[in-house]
Amino acid sequence: MTRRVGILGGTFDPVHLGHIDVASAGVRALHLSSLVMMPANVPPHRPSPSASPFHRFAMVSLAIADRHGWTASDMELLDPARSFTSATLDRLHVQGYAASELYFLIGVDAFRDIASWKDYPALLDKANFGVVGRPGFSVATLAGALPDLASRMRTPDHVPGGQTMIVLIDAATTDVSATAIRLRVAAGQSIDGLVPASVAQHIERHGLYTASVSDRRSGDSH
């Protein structure tokens, strides 16, 4: 049986239920055999995250601890260079994964900026891209927003083998962002129901995000 490996990259500052929903939707819709959560090392085009890479990795590990087949990868964090998805996919190919076996999961808000990512459009040949809806951003509008890529877009039940595709996954995810969580913690507000309980406990125990934080929502593509 072919491997179908999902990868969810992100800053995860902190990981939240929206991320878990994206990964779950990908696993379900694409019948993934495994899922890798991969925290990025200082994403290009945005300021440094406010929790250390160690805390970001710890929170991801806690968030997925009870999920069979899900792992956290330190591949990007251990590379001193900035993380670029193109380079990460190259490294996975060197490790023996074929492009057609890889499913890079991404929220539709982030995918709309794909043309600004390093090695676009060759990047799209390095893995399948599973694009998941986000509250306020529907996958239905993606072909109109990115007409050059429309011919590569498919629904999950129509993914031919061999060639890499952009698979549109119409799923409901929790309406939350890491920015909103940082702001809530800094303001002393509850984050119950927005992050896994183990992650909330980690944030509280280590006093993360209590210093003043600014809204850094914009420009996190790579």
Rounded CA-CA distance 185/212 in Å is: 10
Q: What distance in Å separates the CA atoms of residue 92 and residue 90, rounded to the nearest whole number?
A: 5
Interacting stretch for ligand ATP, rule CB under 6 A, among 56-64, 76-84, 94-102, 212-220?
A: 212-220
CA separation (Å) from 64 to 87, 197, 221? Answer: 25, 11, 24
Q: Give the shortest CB-107-to-ligand ATP separation in angstroms.
A: 2
Site string for ligand ATP, 3-22 (x = CB under 6 A): -------xxxx----xx--x
The residues in 172-191 that bind ligand ATP, with binding defined as CB under 6 A, are 173-174, 176-179
Q: Which stretch binds ligand ATP (CB under 6 A): 87-95, 119-127, 170-178, 203-211?
A: 170-178
Whether the bond between 121 and the residue before it is cis, its omega within 30 degrees of 0, is yes
- Please report whether residue 196 would count as binding ligand ATP according to CB under 6 A: no
Residue keyed to tokens 């896994």: 196
**Min dist. Cβ of residue 6 to ligand ATP (A):** 12
Of 94 and 186, nearer to ligand ATP (C-beta) is 186
Residue 63 within binding range of ligand ATP, rule CB under 6 A? no
Q: Choose which of 7, 106, 127, 167 interacts with ligand ATP (CB under 6 A).
A: 106
CB of 123 to ligand ATP, least distance (A): 14
Alpha helices in the chain (DSSP H): 17-30, 53-64, 75-78, 85-94, 108-111, 142-145, 178-186, 197-206
- Report how far Cα 62 is from the mean position of its chain's Cα atoms: 16
